[in-house]
Amino acid sequence: MQLYDMPDARGHFGQFGGIFVAETLVEALEELRVMYEKYRHDPEFLAEFAYDLKHFVGRPSPVYFAERWTKRVGGAQIYLKREDLNHTGAHKVNNTIGQALLAKRMGKPRVIAETGAGQHGVATATIAARLGLECVVYMGAEDVKRQAPNVFRMKLLGATVIPVESGSKTLKDALNEAMRDWVTNISNTFYIIGTVAGPHPYPMMVRDFQSVIGIEAKQQMLEMVGRQPDAVVACVGGGSNAMGIFYPYIDVPNVRLIGVEAAGHGLETGMHAAPLTANSPVGVLHGNRTYLMQDSDGNIIETHSISAGLDYPGVGPEHAWLKDIKRAEYVAITDDEAMAAFHNLCRTEGIIPALESSHALAHAEKMARTMRKDEIILVNLSGRGDKDINTVAKLSNITL
């Protein structure tokens, strides 16, 4: 029986979440809420979603025992949920397929998305191509420069990429701009948000589409080791891969849920992207109430992380809630620690992880050392690191 029953009808997770948008967006969100309610348990919709996850994405993604890495770390056994093996290379596609199928049912011929590193943009462009939808992706002008290969991928897939020049020219500004597009083109446009943030029903809907990760993992762990792990570890920017693997475990007793934020240069430097770990104040941004990195005037401050996918000043409202009710724990890993884990996994397991996922790996290493050898950690390896090789090369002073 599912005991945990969140959010409420207006998307509140306790004091977090909700619908904080201008009046011009209220009806569009209501339309989306009604349609999602209609389809979320509809057998035909779910069958189509499952079909695409299997045949287009390649699910189920395997759970893999990282044996050499476990030995090298010397402690608890570390298992990896291999979301990096999905089509497009990350967990993002699970959600874009769900939302694009909904867009199709709602008769919206045009989809828009925001993207930071470009993974969500690529995943949206991918499903838009497959379904024959027009696709426009908003990306901060700074990110367009830093992530040229993903910009080109989106264009190859037929999407229009619009660089956003306002504000800090990064992910949060891309999200603002996508909202502005949506409010202007409400009648023909579906906004595919890439993480468990935004106004209701997005945090719930994205969680639901991503929960396939945890549902599979629960079954796979039983098959592989006959029990559930002692801890599940996932990185948290907005928090969609973490919610995806956490959600089916919320009601399972004795499974610790640990979200890993980006500590950047270190929490003490202020140059990080870890609102939960750094105890940032509660605020309102992008349609929901959550913990937010902000100055004393309530303006959002710039974040820092080596990984563009974690470089976000807020966090999904359900993570804020899980922190407050102490069902999940949140920690932060620095750029340097993530890089070390990145190299360790490459060399001991033959897997190049995404820099985002490397934060979760780094924390798993730390934890494993303090645990017994019969204990088990499951890490959500949310994406592969091919997209990051330029960043890593640059750090090593290598020009590709």
Partner 1 sequence: MSRIQTVFSALKANNKKALIPYITAGDPHPKHTVNLMHTLASSGADMIELGIPFSDPMADGPVIQRASERALVHKVGLRKVLDMVQEFRQKDTKTPIILMGYANPIEAMGMEKFTQAAKAAGVDGVLTVDYPPEECKDFIAALQVSGMDSIFLLSPTSDAARVDLIVNQASGFLYYVSLKGVTGAANLDIEEVKARVAAIRTKTDLPIGVGFGVKDAATARKVAAIADAVVVGSRVVVAIEQSSEDNLLSNISQLMAELRTAIDA
- Closest separation in Å from C-beta 24 to partner 1: 4
Query: Closest CB to partner 1 among 303 and 380?
Result: 303
- Closest separation in Å from C-beta 313 to partner 1: 9
Which of 92, 108, 323, 387 is catalytic? The answer is 92
| Known catalytic membership, residue 240 | no
First-last CA distance in the chain: 53
Which of 61, 108, 114, 365 is catalytic? The answer is 114
- Closest separation in Å from C-beta 108 to partner 1: 15
Contacts with partner 1 by CB under 8 A lie at: 10, 18-24, 26-28, 166-167, 172-173, 176, 179-180, 183-187, 281-287, 292, 294-300
Which of 280, 305, 357, 382 is catalytic? The answer is 382
Spell out where the chain has E strands: 12-13, 16-20, 63-65, 77-82, 110-115, 134-140, 160-164, 189-191, 231-235, 256-266, 271-273, 282-285, 287-291, 328-334, 376-381
- Closest separation in Å from C-beta 14 to partner 1: 14
Query: Closest CB to partner 1 among 101 and 273?
Result: 273
Cα dihedral: 376, 378, 231, 201 (round 10): -160
| Known catalytic membership, residue 92 | yes
Amino acid at 89: G
Cα 109 from Cα 6, distance rounded (Å) = 31
Query: Closest CB to partner 1 among 57 and 112?
Result: 112
Query: Closest CB to partner 1 among 62 and 298?
Result: 298
Which residues have a catalytic role annotated? 92, 114, 382
